[in-house]
Amino acid sequence: MWMRDNQQNISKADFQAAFPELAEHLLDKSLDYLTKKHQLFLFPNDLKAISGLDWSGKIFETVNDKVRTRNIVGFMGFKGESLRIHSRFAQNDEEDYFLHYMLQKVLHLNLTNLDTSLSTDQQFYQLLLYLFPKYLQAALRKGLYKEYQRFHYHDSNVKGALDVARHIKYSTPFVGKIAYTTREFSYENDLMQLIRHTIEWIKVSQKNSQKILTPNQETRKNIDTIVQVTPSYDLSDRRKIIFKNRQSPVRHAYFHEYAALQRLCLLILKGQEQSFGSGSEQIHGMLFDVAWLWEEYLATLLGSQFLHPRNKDRSGGYSLFNKGNGLIYPDFLSFSRMPIVADAKYKPFGNIKGTDYLQLVAYMYRFDAKLGFYFFPNATTEQHTQQFELLQGKGQKREDKIIVEKLGLTIPQQMTSFEAFVHAMQENEAQFLERIQLEQ
């Protein structure tokens, strides 16, 4: 059984028969519960801040005798069972070119380096490795992580508590040195050691480790920084370091980037087979919010032509009312020729309706825009664009037209390889951008 996002009619009985262990733990459990209970790595890591994704929502929800999926894709494993949720544009259980293409664009990864001979779950594991430099960079922007550590000394510069047992052992007869311990704020802690062990493991276990760890100067600098602050690294300590980090996860809100990096490192170091659930009492896996990916992918495609206010990190917002009241975050805004408001919708053409219209029209009124777009992914040969004219009064047409347009970006289908998909996608992107230019 293979599944895609936003499926509505999966048989509950078939689901439970195919995944008896996973079904017991996943059905009707919230994302909040699952991420706290199990080893699930979500991207982006700060799920609570993702606009439009309900933290209390469920990956799998039962309605009567059916199971529904949402805008979550990825891979999960537990006790020998493996479950994959593809994007709805995947053609079969072995490829998901559209998901990989968006990841490549949003994360600036070269996914053509992925070994296509690997199974889908193994390819997901390789994605963890390619994500490592990105999460390391995000964490180091907060500065190097420090913790209080206890150090043991045996010298004449006493500056801590006397360690009687060690003093008797090492200073009998007395030779002028004192054994003592100190508690110091140090980079030499379990988390930094975990990061170092992850770096060293990638170096020796991956044939493409250079492409993962040294893709650019900034990544090389980050790797060198970790190496410099962990001089006591010892390969034989790896099992102990993994255990300590599992027992003491980073919880401080300020260091949430380090918490995400810690989870990623643990998944990588647990190894390919174990990290996806073999013999573990916890579900392990990697999940993506595909609606967020769609919006961020569009931002890379539209470029500087459109502003992209970000609800996720609370930047670039606008006030709906005076005195800063009613902060809003339209997906995309353009003021280059005339005001344009655009909304990214990871929905089929026919599902854009109702409250979707109300929000976009309200934003258009705020910015005095005469043109508004819904950008959606389209994989059919059916209608992929439609215009509406806003009325006034009792159904009267306006003298100055206000247009709302659904504009689909065609997603190539039945491609024989990822390279062929990329080529076709680039052609469709050019047509998509050309249509936007024509409407302005």
> What is the rounded CA–CA span in Å between residue 294 and residue 367?
24
Q: What pLDDT score was predicted for residue 47? A: 42
User: Are residue 398 and residue 363 in the same domain, yes or no?
Assistant: yes
Q: What pLDDT score was predicted for residue 224? A: 95
- Please say whether the beta carbons of 406 and 352 come within 8 A: yes
3-state secondary structure 395-426: CEECCCCCEEEEEEEECCCCCCCHHHHHHHHH
User: Are residue 344 and residue 274 in the same domain, yes or no?
Assistant: no
Domain membership of residue 107 (yes or no) is yes
> What is the rounded CA–CA span in Å between residue 399 and residue 82?
59
User: Are residue 163 and residue 246 in the same domain, yes or no?
Assistant: no
Question: What is the chain's pLDDT, residue by residue, as a tens digit (440 residues)?
Answer: 889 999 988 999 999 999 999 999 999 998 888 877 887 877 776 544 444 455 567 889 999 999 999 999 988 888 888 888 999 998 887 788 899 899 888 887 766 555 545 565 666 777 788 889 888 998 999 899 987 667 666 777 777 677 778 777 777 777 778 877 877 667 889 999 999 999 999 998 877 788 788 878 888 999 999 999 999 999 999 999 999 998 988 888 888 889 889 988 988 887 644 444 445 677 878 888 899 899 999 999 999 889 988 655 555 688 889 888 888 889 999 998 889 999 999 999 889 999 999 999 999 999 999 999 999 999 876 667 889 999 988 888 888 899 999 999 999 988 888 889 999 999 999 999 999 988 77
Domain membership of residue 297 (yes or no) is no
Domain membership of residue 298 (yes or no) is no
The residue segments making up the domain with residue 416 are 306-439
User: Are residue 257 and residue 217 in the same domain, yes or no?
Assistant: yes
User: Are residue 393 and residue 410 in the same domain, yes or no?
Assistant: yes
User: Are residue 310 and residue 373 in the same domain, yes or no?
Assistant: yes
User: Are residue 8 and residue 110 in the same domain, yes or no?
Assistant: yes
| Both tokens assigned to 145 | 């992580």
Contacts of 117 (CB under 8 A, 6+ apart): none
Q: Quote the number of domains for the chain.
A: 3
Q: What pLDDT score was predicted for residue 48? A: 44
Answer positive or negative: Cα dihedral of 3, 8, 14, 16.
positive
Domain membership of residue 28 (yes or no) is yes
User: Are residue 160 and residue 236 in the same domain, yes or no?
Assistant: no
Q: Look up residue 385 and give its amino acid.
A: T
User: Are residue 79 and residue 209 in the same domain, yes or no?
Assistant: yes
- Please say whether the beta carbons of 252 and 37 come within 8 A: no
User: Are residue 273 and residue 324 in the same domain, yes or no?
Assistant: no
Domain membership of residue 123 (yes or no) is yes
- Please say whether the beta carbons of 342 and 373 come within 8 A: yes
Q: What pLDDT score was predicted for residue 272? A: 45
